[in-house]
Structure 1
Amino acid sequence: MSERTVSTAQRGRMLASTIGKPVLFAVLMWLASAAGEISIPGTPVPITLQTFVMMLAGLMLSWRQAGSAVVLYLAAGAAGLPVFAGGASTAALFGPSAGFLIGFLPAVIVTALLRGKARLDSAPHAALTAVRYFGASLAGNLVVLYLFGITIQSMVMHVPFTTVAIASMGFVIGDVIKAVVASLAATGLAKLF
């Protein structure tokens, strides 16, 4: 093979990887919402595994790829495909869970930007990577996502911010557990991505 052929083949693999990873994570977000939901009394937003998939995307992809995955997912729902929790589509972008859906984008980007580079050359470095990943997951998927979600839900439902915030606290324990699992999984899979 000539150098030109090799570089063309390499470019093809890079392009497939660049496009394929966001598509994969967009599909995983849909599967996470299709897998089922758990309702929390006092809030119209259900628990799904979407935030777990978002944490993984933010920890395993570049911020552009992670953001692209979320944009693809949101665009599919906006186009009318039943990809949101409960098989919802476009209407969900204007209802009580709109802030959480819209907040997915800045949340995943913040997570990806804060995670830093994985260092897996020793057990202490791997442990520090997992801790850093955990912190990035909390900053993006708890702080940023909840800020968007609670603020917009408060406005849509005409309910005080603090009331929505208190009702949303039922999600925090589950999201912290998801952050622990996602951080450990992403650290273990860092060499693959």
Structure 2
Amino acid sequence: MQSNTPTPAAQPSAAKSVSVARRVAAVSWKPALFAVLMWVSAAAGEIPIPGTPVPITLQTFVVMLAGLMLTWRQAGAAVAAYLAAGAAGLPVFAGGASTMALVGPSAGFLLGFLPGVVVIALIKGKTGAHGAKATFLAALRYFAAAFLGGVVVVYAFGFLVQSALTGAPIAVVAIASMGFVIGDVVKAAVASLVAAGLAKLR
């Protein structure tokens, strides 16, 4: 008669598989959450800016938070999943757009999210100490990281691609986008304060 009792060798193997599955789930839920938040922020509405075909959304704010609160691998995975969903035809971009947005005027900004969020995550530093002073210094570091990655890097991609697609000089594109830049500097400040506060709670 055969026994259904697992052999001693099979038991560690099964336990190892369960452990790996748990680690994968623990690591992957955060990127999935931020990918969904990027879609929600695009679907929540957009504010048009005269003189430019690219609307204002809360996407850059979510990108900044992702970079400040996740590792660079997790943050990059979140943005990559979001872009892949749009490339596959899902209406996850502003205005319910999908694939065509990646070849339109806003393509550079969307593609710039990926290197931008990685830069934020890599240069944000760590918050180990507690107290008001440590939180304030962390918020300053976070703001610098969010500004460099979420504004400088993203807009560099956005300006270059939009200029190439429209034929307008980069200076003209940049001037027309100043409303975005000012708004995203404010978003960087808010995101840094939120992330520093949440880091303190953790």
**Please, what TM-score do these two structures have when normalized by structure 1?**
0.93
Max Rg structure: 2
Distance in 1 (CA, whole Å) between partners of 2:130 and 2:201 is 15
1:40-119 matched pairs, under 5 angstroms: 40-119=49-128
C-alpha deviation, 1:171, in angstroms: 0.8
After superposition, the Cα gap between the structure-2 partners of 1:132 and 1:10, relative to the gap in structure 1 and judged at 3 Å, is: farther
Question: Please, which of 27, 36, 40 is the counterpart of residue 45 of structure 2?
Answer: 36
Q: Does 1:161 align with 2:170?
A: yes
C-alpha deviation, 1:180, in angstroms: 1.1
Partner of 1:18: 27
Distance in 2 (CA, whole Å) between partners of 1:19 and 1:74 is 17
C-alpha deviation, 1:8, in angstroms: 6.3
CA RMSD of aligned residues (A): 1.9
User: Which runs of 5 or more structure 2 residues have no equivalent in the other structure?
Assistant: 1-10
The amino acid that maps onto 1:61 is: L
The amino acid that maps onto 2:159 is: I
Q: 1:37·1:48 contact (CA, 8 Å) conserved in 2?
A: yes
Distance in 2 (CA, whole Å) between partners of 1:104 and 1:65 is 13
The amino acid that maps onto 2:97 is: A
Deviations along 1:122-179, one digit per CA (max 9) or x if unpaired, are 2111110010000000000110000000110000111111000100111122111111
Distance in 2 (CA, whole Å) between partners of 1:77 and 1:183 is 28
C-alpha deviation, 1:14, in angstroms: 2.7
**Please, what TM-score do these two structures have when normalized by structure 2?**
0.89
Question: Please, which of 160, 180, 193 is the counterpart of residue 189 of structure 2?
Answer: 180
The amino acid that maps onto 1:104 is: F
Deviations along 1:5-58, one digit per CA (max 9) or x if unpaired, are 887665444321211111100000000000000000000000000000000000
Q: 2:43·2:94 contact (CA, 8 Å) conserved in 1?
A: yes
Count, aligned residues: 192
User: Which runs of 5 or more structure 1 residues have no equivalent in the other structure?
Assistant: none
